[in-house]
Amino acid sequence: MAERPRIRLPKQAKKGEVIEIRTLLPHLMESGQRKGPDGKVFPRKIVNAFTCEFNGQLVFSATLEPAISANPYLQFSARVEESGTFRFAWTDDDGTVITADESITVT
């Protein structure tokens, strides 16, 4: 599962502005509740953690449970005081970490 995350945020913002960030990671989020035709449960495999940092400082993080829908979508905010780079990271149950970077110019 190495599909690219989709991220939306403005390219530019004014100093002190609160911007909106939308993220979506294509992922099945197998809940561990679903059974196949043989009656066996598909083992749980979800993205269990998400973090968003700006210039190395934590902005927002989430612990996700199997009750989060497939292709986990998260929309949240960030207050930007300077230009810099957001780093987004999703952690899979299997230990894989998917990361993405987005920069913003603050005037």
Partner 1 sequence: MRPLSRRAALAALGASSAALALVGWSDSVSATVDEAAAEIAKFTGGKTATAGRIAIELPEVAENGNTVPLRITVESPMTAADYISDVLVVADGNPRPGVAAFKFTPMAGKADISTRMRLAATQNIIVVAKTGKGELFTARRQVTVTVGGCVG
At closest approach, how far in Å is the CB of 13 from partner 1? Answer: 11
- Cross-strand bridge partners of residue 66: none
Q: Given the complex with partner 1, which of 60 and 100 has the nearer CB atom?
A: 60
Q: Given the complex with partner 1, which of 62 and 100 has the nearer CB atom?
A: 62
Q: How far, in Å, CA of 59 to CA of 2, rounded?
A: 24
For residues 19-31, b (16+ Cβ closer than 10 Å) or e, as one string?
bebebebebebbb
Q: Given the complex with partner 1, which of 36 and 95 has the nearer CB atom?
A: 36
At closest approach, how far in Å is the CB of 65 from partner 1? Answer: 4
Residues that bind partner 1 (CB under 8 A): 18-19, 31, 33-37, 41-42, 54, 57-70, 72-79
- Distances in Å between the Cα of 39 and the Cα atoms of 42, 46, 67, 89, 104 are 9, 21, 21, 34, 49
* 85's tokens: 């780079």
Q: Given the complex with partner 1, which of 69 and 107 has the nearer CB atom?
A: 69
CB count in 10 Å sphere of residue 53: 18
At closest approach, how far in Å is the CB of 107 from partner 1? Answer: 17
At closest approach, how far in Å is the CB of 95 from partner 1? Answer: 20
